[in-house]
Amino acid sequence: MTTLLATERIKLFTTRSPWWSIVAALGLTIGFAGLVALNHSEGRPLQVEHSQFGIQFGLVVVLVMAALAVTTEYRFSTIRATFQAVPNRSAVLVAKTAVVAVLAAVIGEIAAFGSWTVTRVIAGGPEMAIATGADVRMVAGVGLVYALAAVIAVAVGTLVRQSAGAISILLIWPLLVENLVQLIPGAGPHIHDWMPFVNAERFLNPPEFTTPPIGPWGSLAYLAGVAAALFAAAMVAVNRRDA
């Protein structure tokens, strides 16, 4: 497995996509935190959660990067070269997902702590201290969410195989469909509670903000469950299909 991890690491970092993803994710999240901090009103001191307003920017970049990590292999047929070198397709998918998820986690941690630091430097008061367990979750938890989002995106990319299709699904779903679901009268809010990215957001929300049915860590576990299910589907597909 270490060999395969090394292989996938080389593959990922010898193209441009992870590099611009890192720049875009960090630039957008930390830059947005700076914008928010620079414009805040003196009267209302910023809290830890205010430093994380831009965290969704990084999330969408991670979704796109992780999907591209597999769809470009199909696009340029290097997936065939890959399976020719390593016929154990399950192992390839595990290794690729692991490498992308670790990168996503690192991006998430830097984005979150970077945003927090920038906010603190620009407009920090005593409220900006990471004091409670909830504060830690809101900042350090970003890496976990990004990693699980990366697993979901790799799985969707593997199932769809096309960049345009995978990216469209991965962006339209969390940014639009999950919101619209809420509007369905009656059942809508209940369905909304079980949307994966809604749960990602709830895990990162301050405790007073929402009252999720299963608590922040339950939300994270649920997100992990969705990621695992999609990943299993991708495993089955990749083994059954012709390359």
- Return residues touching other proteins (CB under 8 A): 3-4, 6-7, 10-11, 14-16, 32, 35-36, 39-41, 53-54, 56-57, 60-61, 64, 68, 71-72, 76-78, 80-88, 163-164, 167-168, 171-172, 175-177, 180, 183-187, 242-243
Distance (Å, whole) CA 70 – CA 107: 19
Task: Report CA 199 to chain centroid distance, whole Å.
Answer: 12
Residue placing its CB nearer to other proteins in the complex, 51 or 199: 51
Shortest separation between residue 110's beta carbon and other proteins, angstroms: 19
Closest CA to 226 of 200, 189, 187: 200
Shortest separation between residue 117's beta carbon and other proteins, angstroms: 19
Closest CA to 166 of 104, 73, 77: 73
The H or E element containing residue 104 is helix 89-123
Residue placing its CB nearer to other proteins in the complex, 76 or 209: 76
Shortest separation between residue 217's beta carbon and other proteins, angstroms: 26
Shortest separation between residue 84's beta carbon and other proteins, angstroms: 5
Task: Read off the tokens for 71.
Answer: 């769809």
Task: Report CA 75 to chain centroid distance, whole Å.
Answer: 23
* 3-state SS assignment for residue 201: helix
Residue placing its CB nearer to other proteins in the complex, 13 or 217: 13
